[in-house]
Chains A and B, each alone.
With several copies, the nearest count.
Chain A
Amino acid sequence: MEFGLSQEQVMLQASVERFLAGQGGLARTRKFVSDNETRATDVLEGLAGLGVTGLIIPEDFGGVGLSFLDAAIVAEALGRYVTPAPYVGTAVLAPLALMRAGNESQKTHWLPRLAAGEVVAGVAISESTGARGDAGLTLKEGKLSGTSLFVIDYEADVYLVADRDGGLHLVPADAPGLTRTSLRTIDGTRPTGELTLDSVTGEALPGSCPAVLRELIDVGRVMFAADTLGAAQDMLEQAVAYSKERKQFERAIATFQAVKHMCAEMVAALEPCRAMVWYAAHALDALSAEASVTACHAKAHLSEVGTLVARRATEVHGGMGFTDLVGLHYWFKRIGFNRQILGGPQTVREDAARLQGFAV
Chain B
Amino acid sequence: MDLSYGPEHEAFRQETVAFIEANKHLAPRPGGPSALAWQALLIDRGYAARTIPRAYGGYGADPDILKSRIIAEEFARAQVSPGLGGQGISMLVPTLLEMGTEAQKVQFIGPTLRGEMLWCQGYSEPNAGSDLASLATKGELVGEDWLINGQKIWTSTAHLAHWMFCLVRTEPEAAKHEGISFLLFSMETPGIEIRPLVDMTGAANFNEVFFTDVRVPQHQIVGRRGQGWQVANSILRHERGSLADPNTMLSRVNALTDMMKSETLDGRPVMDNPIYRDRLMQIQGRVLAMRCNDLRLLSAAVNRQNPGVAAMVVKLQGTELRHELEALAIDVLGELGLLYGDTPRLRGHGSWQRDYMYFLGLIIGGGTSQIQKNIIAERGLGMPREAKLATA
Contacts and interface: CB of A to CB of B under 8 A. Distances in A.
Interface of A: 1-6, 69, 126, 130-133, 149-150, 181-187, 192, 194, 240, 243-244, 247-252, 254-261, 263-265, 267-269, 271-276, 278-279, 282, 285-286, 294, 296-297, 300-301, 304, 307, 311, 314-315, 318-319, 321-325, 328-329, 332-333, 336-337, 339-341, 343-347, 349-350, 352-353, 358-359
25 contacts: A2-B1, A2-B299, A149-B345, A186-B353, A256-B370, A257-B374, A261-B370, A264-B381, A271-B293, A271-B309, A272-B310, A275-B296, A276-B293, A296-B285, A297-B288, A307-B327, A314-B360, A318-B130, A318-B368, A323-B197, A324-B199, A336-B338, A340-B335, A343-B334, A359-B271
B298 A1 contact: yes
A341 B381 contact: no
B61 interface: no
Contact of B364 (A150, A265, A319): A319
Contacts of A264: 316, 372-374, 376-377, 380-381
A6 B303 CA distance: 12
B161 interface: no
Interface in B339-388: 339-345, 353, 357, 360-361, 363-365, 368-370, 372-374, 376-378, 380-387
Which residue, of B302, B338, B372, has the highest number of chain A Cβ atoms within 10 A? B338
B239 interface: no
B1 A323 contact: no
A131 B267 CA distance: 7
Contacts of A265: 373
Given A257-B374, A349-B278, A349-B281, A318 B364 contact: yes
Nearest to B353: A186
A36 B131 CA distance: 39
B134 A353 contact: no
B153 interface: yes
Nearest to A239: B381
Contacts of A318: 129-130, 364, 368
Contacts of A337: 338
B1 A272 contact: no
A254 B3 contact: no
B299 to A, nearest CB: 4
Contacts of B6: 1
Contact of A300 (B153, B281, B336): B281
B171 to A, nearest CB: 18
B43 interface: no
A8 B370 CA distance: 39
A151 to B, nearest CB: 10
A34 to B, nearest CB: 10
Contacts, number: 282
Closest 8 CB pairs of A and B: A329-B200, A3-B299, A275-B292, A260-B377, A264-B373, A349-B281, A272-B293, A297-B285
A297 B284 contact: yes
A252 B364 CA distance: 18
Contacts of A126: 335
B7 to A, nearest CB: 12
B387 A350 contact: no
A328 to B, nearest CB: 8
A132 B335 contact: yes
B55 interface: no
A3 B282 contact: no
B47 to A, nearest CB: 20
Contacts of A294: 288
A184 B342 contact: yes
Contact of B129 (A194, A274, A314, A319): A319
A261 B3 CA distance: 34
B315 to A, nearest CB: 10
Contacts of B340: 184-186
A340 B339 CA distance: 11
Contacts of B386: 255, 257
Given A184-B339, A268-B317, A346-B331, 17 more contacts: A3-B3, A6-B1, A132-B334, A132-B336, A150-B338, A183-B339, A194-B344, A248-B131, A249-B131, A271-B310, A272-B313, A286-B1, A324-B200, A336-B338, A346-B273, A346-B278, A359-B272
A162 to B, nearest CB: 14
B5 A1 contact: yes
A227 B66 CA distance: 32
Nearest to A346: B275
Interface string B117-139: 00000001001011100100000
Contacts of B309: 267, 271
B1 A278 contact: yes
Contact of B288 (A184, A276, A322, A336): A276
A267 to B, nearest CB: 6
A32 B289 CA distance: 35
A265 B377 CA distance: 9
Given A183-B343, A311-B360, A358 B271 contact: yes
Contact of B389 (A251, A323, A324): A251
A300 B287 CA distance: 13
B182 interface: no
Given A275-B310, A358-B271, A184 B377 contact: no
B4 A263 contact: no
Interface in B1-38: 1-6, 9
A263 B216 CA distance: 44
A346 B332 CA distance: 9
A5 B303 CA distance: 12
B266 A131 contact: yes
Contact of A322 (B257, B331, B361, B378): B361
Contacts of A252: 384
Contacts of B274: 350, 359
B264 A132 contact: yes
Nearest to B332: A344
B365 A130 contact: no
B263 interface: yes
Contacts of A194: 344-345
Which residue, of A247, A252, A271, A314, has the highest number of chain B Cβ atoms within 10 A? A271
A27 B285 CA distance: 36
A359 B310 contact: no
B191 to A, nearest CB: 23
A296 B199 CA distance: 34
B334 A347 contact: yes
Contacts of A261: 370, 373-374, 377
B337 interface: yes
A274 B124 CA distance: 35
B1 A282 contact: yes
B56 to A, nearest CB: 29
